[in-house]
């Protein structure tokens, strides 16, 4: 194809979607950055989905962090969901949890991230693109 336009392959579309998801990264003044992704965005009833959170501490001191999933009624927990720990200055932690689809619909999966720094406790509600259950 000539000119400035070209057709986009399936692999390119996946790369573009990944780039778009990564651009949802949230950077907070307290030195924490959070990103939430799903391992897939369409599942059948009875199938599972993994929710992945990437947490990074870009501050100068450790952060105490808690991750608390907020599953909608159309999903059930696949295992123990909450996580709490310390992320050192400059450190990174990946946290994931699973959910099982129990009824058809479109669901927004939210996760509450609580963290403490020198100015006190903070909360951030993370979401990802909607999960479609068929």
Q: In sequence order, what DSSP letters do the residues of 75-104 get, joined into one string? A: EEESS---EEEEE-TT-EEEEEEEEEE-S-
The DSSP call for residue 16 is H
What's the pTM value of the predicted model, to 2 decimals? 0.74
The average pLDDT across 97-121 equals 93
pLDDT tens track for 53-94: 999 998 899 999 999 999 999 999 887 778 999 999 999 999
Q: Considering only CA atoms, give the Rg of the chain.
A: 17
Structure tokens at 81: 């969901």
Per domain, the residue ranges of the chain are: 31-133
Cβ proximity of 71 and 33 under 8 Å: no
pLDDT band at 5 (very low <50, low <70, confident <90, very high): very low
CATH class held by domain 31-133? mainly beta
């Amino acid at each position: 194809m000539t000119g400035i336009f070209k057709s986009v392959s399936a692999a390119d579309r996946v790369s573009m979607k990944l780039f778009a998801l990564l651009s949802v990264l949230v950077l907070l003044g307290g030195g924490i950055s959070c990103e939430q992704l799903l391992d897939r965005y369409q599942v059948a009833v009875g199938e599972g989905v993994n929710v992945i959170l990437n947490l990074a501490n870009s501050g100068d001191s450790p952060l105490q962090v808690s991750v608390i999933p907020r599953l909608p009624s159309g999903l059930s927990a696949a295992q123990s969901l909450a996580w709490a720990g310390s992320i050192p200055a400059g450190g990174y932690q990946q946290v994931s949890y699973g959910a099982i689809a129990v009824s058809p619909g479109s669901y927004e999966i939210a996760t509450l991230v609580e963290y403490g720094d020198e100015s006190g406790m903070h909360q951030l509600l993370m979401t990802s693109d909607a999960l479609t259950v068929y």
